[in-house]
Amino acid sequence: MKYTTLPNTDIKVSKICLGTMTWGNQNTQEEGFSQMDYAFEKGVNFFDTAELYPVPANAETYADTERIIGNWFKKTGNRDKIILATKICGPGAYTAHVRTTGFSTEALKEALDNSLKRLQTDYIDLYQLHWPERQANFFGQRDYMHNPNDTWEDNFNEILHTLQGFIEAGKIREIGISNEKAWGTMRYLEESKTNNLPRIRTIQNPYSLLNRTFEGDLAELSIRENVGLLAYSPLASGSLSGKYISGKLPKNSRFDLFPRFAGRYNSPQALEATERYFELAKDYGLSLTQMSLAFINQQPFVTGNIIGATTLKQLEENIGSIDVHLSDELITQINAIHNAIPNPAP
């Protein structure tokens, strides 16, 4: 395994981060335990979860993923060996079964305290805001479109003050954001610098060969401000594993079980780009999975590559990508496909 640190801290994390959002839905607790056991054995010390998980989110399975992780900690006694990240979900119709109060002080306190109980721990290493309260994050939409009817009011300072209280109480160590834009990220940094408030260490956004939108303003921001990317959906919900190539739809795969997740990855452009990357990987004796994950592992702004799997075989290949190095020649050919078909699955 290769390791780095959360930016501007001495917290050592594996470059491969174990994603968990299928546990409690596509995966049982026993399967989740097996994945954590295997990842830990291979040197992965960084786990990412969220109160919202498993996905698809609903009231019946709400926060079951955190419960599974908490039970594993209790069984193994490995809490002090894991850098644990979780998130409070933002407001919206998709999360109305959780709460409708956004990131108010009361909501943050409720969410954190409940996560601590479910995870059977007294602290979180990295506590993240799952997406903005303002209307700025839209899955499947490439660019920002302003809604003049958005009623959100600037509360960055209030949020950071609340999180500072949690840090002082020893409940969290560091903070991060997720599904954010450049403006929101800079506002957090501005508030922390101007008012001596906690500084965000990471930003967890989608990043894959089919969605490199992070490489716009956010990549420069990440490098110059030292805010590390935690890349999620590095295999584009499994599309870049190659299992859907040529119209295949494996039984019990994500797109088979949840067809609504397939839309953004099934456009003609996304399918063509995936086919081209698949053939390119073959030319270099790699699987599409290996090439896709290795590409992310090598990016200078990436702190962690959040891999997720539903089987141990998939997990083994995903974690093994840390040992794959892509040559400059191969990177050039990857970029040629990207230039021809840029960001087909935002």
Give the residues across from 246 on adjacent strands. none
Q: Is 188 a catalytic residue?
A: no
Residue 178 in tokens: 């997720």
**Dihedral angle, C-alpha 251, 252, 257, 259, nearest 10 °:** -50
CB 233 within 8 A of CB 211: yes
Backbone φ and ψ of 110, nearest 5°: -60, -45
| Strand positions, DSSP E, 121-245 | 124-129, 172-178, 200-206, 228-232
CB atoms within 10 A of CB 342: 16
Which one of 53, 127, 244, 265 is the catalytic residue?
A: 53
3-state secondary structure 98-128: CCCCCCCHHHHHHHHHHHHHHHCCCCEEEEE
Report the catalytic residues. Answer: 53
